Every structure is written in structure tokens, then in C-alpha cells.
Copies of this chain bind each other. A is one copy, B any other.
Amino acid sequence: MTDPDPDPTVGSLTEGAILRRILEVLGPSSAPVGPGDDAAVLSIGDGRVVATTDTLVHGPDFRLSWSSAYDLGWKAAAVNLADVAAMGARPVALLVALAMPDETRLSFVEGLADGLRDACTALAPGCAVEGGDLTVSDTLTIAVTALGSLDGGAPVLRSGARPGDVVALAGDLGHAARGLAVLFDRFTDADGNPTPLQRDALTGADAAAVAAQLRPHPPLALGPAAARAGATAMMDVSDGLALDATRLADASGVTVDLERAALGDDPALSLGGGEDHGLLAAFPAGMALPPGFRPIGRVRERADAAVTVDGRPVEGRRGWDPYRDWDSGRG
């Protein structure tokens, strides 16, 4: 007789056994109908629901040499919660579709669930995982849907910025991208393949930047605060400030003029670096910004360039995206 494996693979377990363990980790649901039926029933508060979905795929979006299961659960939650907050809404629930190889360990699934739960608690109190799906795949894939409530308010769209508005930001710029650069610089082999992240080897700014990349803490409660304060437009900065400000400018039919002085020591990184998931918003001139937002520019009448810095055009392209080059090696 052999002892049962203390950390069995998911391929050796039934779906029901894996699900029970996940639900234990997540804790009890306070939804009208939580996990376990055909669908969840959630209280949304008024007659509208805000809904968004975003997927993390092993390879293009993360590497297991660098991200722990907890990091992945946290980040999968954070990037979706950010999209809800960027509408001015309060996140209410997550649905998590998890596709994973048979050889995945149960402890990995538990770590993911830990990260999902803790990110909700830290970034969007009151939000919880209320449903999901488990399936087998050769490629580890985490597809999260986030739902939110406007609590009677109007959604804040990308299209509402008006000339004269103040452009403001809550959260970091270029921090997560700097962390990714540290990972590529210090934790790859001669062929460019990822090697295990040694967190102890990192100190100071490098450690903080890597943490921002792997486990972002965007100030999401400021999304509803901005909506209540009267933000005219808002979006989350996921693909870099230059590109996302271009999207906001194009949707609003305006030009966004950023101040060089607001872009920090490394303006190229601040403009091009993605994945910080801070909130970019426009507010009517003359009003006090909600605490946590800082002014970074002005909305102007539409000119040739969608985005300028101190009046000079910048190109709104993606700064740097090494993941797209990642092919099929495992890491």
C-alpha cells in the first residue's frame, strides 16, 4: 500500500474533487446563488451590469518560471477588476474559466485560487469568484470575466473627454514594464529562454518593479470615486500611456497633450510601458481632482496628432512587447 499523493495532479482527480478544493480556498459566497448550479445569480443593484473578459495564456502572457500560481491568480483578477473600475463601476463578481494540462498539481490550482481571492480582497473588497469552469488543455489558460455595478451612476466612457479638461492619472507608469525588463535581463539563459526567478536576488527598485509586473496593485477604488467626482472620460492603462491615451483621444475626438514634467525620469518608459493598469481620466477644468489622481496634461481641440507631449506629437504605438515573440518553449 502506498500513501495517497499529498499533491496529486489534476489529471488524477475528478472535476468535482478539484472544484471542492477550489471552493474551500475561495471561502463562502454571499451571492444570491454562488458556485454549484448551472449559473450564478448576482445582485447588481440597478438594472445594469458592467461586464468584461480578459485571458492570460501561458507563453504570450506569462511564464511559469517567473510567475507563481498565486501571482497568476492575483494578476488575472487585477487586470479584469481594472477594466470594471475604469468604467466607474464597483466590481461585484468574477467568473474564472481555467484550462490546464493534466499534469498540473492540485497545489497549483489552490495557489491560483488564493491569488484570485486575495486580489479581490485587496483591490475590490466585496468582489469574489462566483462561478467558473474547469477543462483540460495543453496550454495553461486563465480566462476571467468580471462583472460590476454602477450603483445608479452613469458609466464613464473613453469618448467623453472635452477640450479644456484636465488629464489625470492614478497609479504607476512604466513600473510593470521595468519589472519585465528586469526579468528578461536577469532571468533568461543565453538563448533567451526564461530561467527560474530568484526573488532573493532582487533588491530595492528592481524587486518593486518585478512585483509590479507579477502582482500589480492598481488603485481601483479610485474608478468609482472618479465617476462620482464627474470624470468625463476614463480608461485603464494596460498597453502603455501613449497608446491608451491615443485610444481615449480618438474615441473622444480630441488631442491629449501630456506634460513632459509629469512623465518622470524615463519618459519613454512611462509612455510605452504597459501592464500597470492605472486609471487615465479626464476631469472638467477647475475642479479639485479626487485624492489619488495627479494631473498629467490637458485635453485640446483635435489636432493632427492624437497625443502630444508639451505640444509635440508622439507616436501612439506599443512600446515593447517581447511576449509576442515567445514561441513554443516552456518556461
Give A contacts to B, CB under 8 Å: 32-33, 36-55, 57, 59-61, 82-84, 86-87, 89, 93, 95-97, 99, 130-133, 135-139, 141, 143, 145-148, 150, 155, 157-159, 235-236, 251, 324, 328
Contact = CB atoms under 8 A, between A and B. Distances in A.
A155 B36 CA distance: 13
B37 A133 contact: no
Given A43-B48, A87-B38, A143-B55, A328 B33 contact: no
Nearest to A61: B135
A243 to B, nearest CB: 11
Given A95-B51, A95-B53, A324 B137 contact: no
A62 to B, nearest CB: 11
Task: Give the top 6 A-B pairs by smallest Cβ distance, nearest first.
Answer: A39-B52, A143-B143, A139-B139, A38-B86, A145-B145, A38-B83
Given A139-B138, A139-B141, A50 B57 contact: no
Contact of A95 (B52, B157, B158): B52
A69 to B, nearest CB: 19
8 contacts: A39-B84, A44-B47, A55-B99, A55-B135, A57-B141, A59-B136, A59-B137, A139-B139
A121 to B, nearest CB: 20
B54 A97 contact: yes
B132 A51 contact: no
A324 B53 contact: no
Identical copies in the complex: 2
Nearest to A39: B52
Contact of A33 (B47, B93, B138, B157): B157
A136 B42 contact: no
Nearest to A138: B139
A155 B40 CA distance: 10
Given A39-B51, A39-B148, A59-B136, 8 more contacts: A32-B155, A37-B87, A41-B150, A51-B93, A51-B131, A51-B147, A57-B99, A143-B143
A8 to B, nearest CB: 17
Contacts of A251: 36-37
Contact of A47 (B46, B59, B61, B132): B46
Contact of A53 (B37, B47, B52, B145): B145
Given A51-B93, A55-B97, A37 B139 contact: no
Contacts of A143: 53, 55, 97, 99, 133, 141, 143
A68 to B, nearest CB: 21
A36 B138 CA distance: 31
Contact of A136 (B57, B89, B150): B57
Contacts of A45: 47
